[in-house]
Amino acid sequence: MKKNTKLYETVAALLAPGKGILAADESDGTAGKRLAMVHLPNEPENRQDFREILFTADGIHDYLSGVILYDSSIRNFTDEGIPFADVLTSQGIVPGIKVDLGTRDLSGFKGEVVTQGLDNLAERFSEYYDLGARFAKWRMVVNIDEDETPTDESIKINSIMMARYAQIAQEAGIVPIVEPEVIHAGDHSLQRAEMVTTKTIQILFNTLIEYRVDLQGLILKSSMVLAGDKHSDQTTADAVANATLRTFHMSVPHECAGIVFLSGGQSPERSTENLNAIAKMGEQPWPITFSFSRAIEEPVLKAWGGKKENEDKAKKVLVETCKQNSLASLGKL
């Protein structure tokens, strides 16, 4: 594939030191689950109000380099009629877009799924580019269950889908974020999580290379490596840092532009603590930062509660939460 230097410019902006990416890309259904935390109905007006708080808080540009949007939100506007993507761009924050269409059961593979969304993706990217998106995200789901789950076959087919997405994104001038999420839910040990995450990322990058994706114009969004949420021995931050970096050194080529973390079911506090521990391990071959969703949004939702009079308070909580994760990404928390 021909090199596109604009991809590298976008990558550099997204991976600016001390900044991270807000993953505000919940589907309308998942956004409803967020709103339910503060007893708000899942209505377009409530989704719009919450996202406007997230995107218009003074000072977020100091800590956020990018925001991942959903199809409905990249088409949405502030109360003043300004497109959300323009609001972000005006602050020097790069708009992104989630483009996968969720998962379906993988026939013949119990408990495993495959991600959908390649149909008409080139046309969708063309439209999203015109709407302001300069990077994108595609998620694959890796469940850990019995010894044979996940299978190499399920990881491979998802990796092929991911590689095709990345090809199409780069052809459209959009930086692909590839997200192989190893699910935190379960009773698996830290050692099992490390083995599965390492194998998953190895297969993914081997596939990306096989399909000639430009790794210098691509970002990995990874789970942290930690024991399942039901395991009797919950992982310390230092253990998470060591296991996660061992995994990366075994699986991520140095050509990869950078790595961002999903919070993946962890509490906001634990996500930040683990990020800080990883950063304290010192400089790595890749820039490493955060791309959190619930870990950033949950404190803001609680501060807002759906009340107009709480909007300024919620914005201050957002900026402070982003600042804490910024410090953690530098190992300075």
Residue found under tokens 């708080």: 53
* Mean pLDDT within 120-133: 98
Question: How high is the pLDDT of residue 31?
Answer: 83
Instruction: Exactly one of 179, 181, 298, 311 is catalytic; name it.
Output: 179
- Chain-wide mean pLDDT for the chain? 95
Q: What is the pLDDT of residue 127?
A: 98
Average pLDDT over residues 40-47: 89
CA distance 111 to 154: 10
Model confidence at 3: pLDDT above 80 = no
User: In this predicted model, what pLDDT tens digit does every residue of 237-247 receive, in sequence order?
Assistant: 999 999 999 99
Q: Is 156 among the residues known to form the active site?
A: no
pLDDT digits (tens, 9 = 90+) for 266-306: 999 999 999 999 999 999 999 999 999 989 999 999 999 98
DSSP 264-288: TT--HHHHHHHHHHHHTT---SS-E
Least confident of 14-23, 96-105, 127-136, 183-192: 183-192
Please report the pLDDT score of residue 40 as a whole number: 87
Handedness of CA 150, 219, 291, 251 (dihedral sign): positive
pLDDT band for 126, please (50, 70, 90 cuts).
very high
Amino acid identity, residue 97?
I
Q: State the Cα–Cα distance between residues 323 and 333, nearest whole angstrom.
A: 10
Report DSSP state, residue 216. Answer: G
Task: Round to whole Å and give the CA distance between 195 and 74.
Answer: 37
pLDDT at position 109: 94
Q: pLDDT tier at 321 (50, 70, 90 boundaries)?
A: very high
Structure tokens at 148: 């044979």
Q: Which structural domains are found in the chain, ordered by start?
A: 5-175+192-309+322-329 (3.20.20.70)
Annotated catalytic residue 6: no
Q: What is the dihedral of CA 3, 175, 150, 224, to 10 degrees?
A: 120
Q: What is the pLDDT of residues 5-42, one digit of tens each?
A: 899 999 999 999 999 999 999 888 888 888 888 888 88
pLDDT of residue 64: 98
Please say if the pLDDT value at position 146 is more than 80. Answer: no
Residue 139's beta-bridge partner residues? 179
Instruction: State the DSSP code for 62.
Output: G
Q: What pLDDT sits at residue 218?
A: 98
pLDDT at 38: 84
Active-site position among 52, 221, 298, 311:
221
Asked if residue 1 has pLDDT above 80, the reply is: no
245: exposed, middle or buried (Cβ count in 10 Å: 0-12, 13-18, 19+):
middle
What are all long-range contacts of 328-331, with beta carbons under 8 Å and residues at least 24 apart?
328/272, 328/273, 328/275, 328/276, 328/279, 328/290, 329/18, 329/19, 329/20, 329/275, 329/279, 329/288, 329/289, 329/290, 330/17, 330/18, 330/279, 331/276, 331/279, 331/280, 331/281
**Nearest-5° Cα angle at 90, 85 to 96:** 35
Q: pLDDT band for position 2 (50/70/90)?
A: low
- pTM beyond 0.75: the answer is yes
CB burial of residue 57 (10 Å; 0-12, 13-18, 19+): buried
Q: What does the block give as tokens for 172? A: 């459209």
* pLDDT tens digits, 156-180: 999 999 999 999 999 999 999 999 9
Q: Give percent of the chain above pLDDT 70.
A: 99
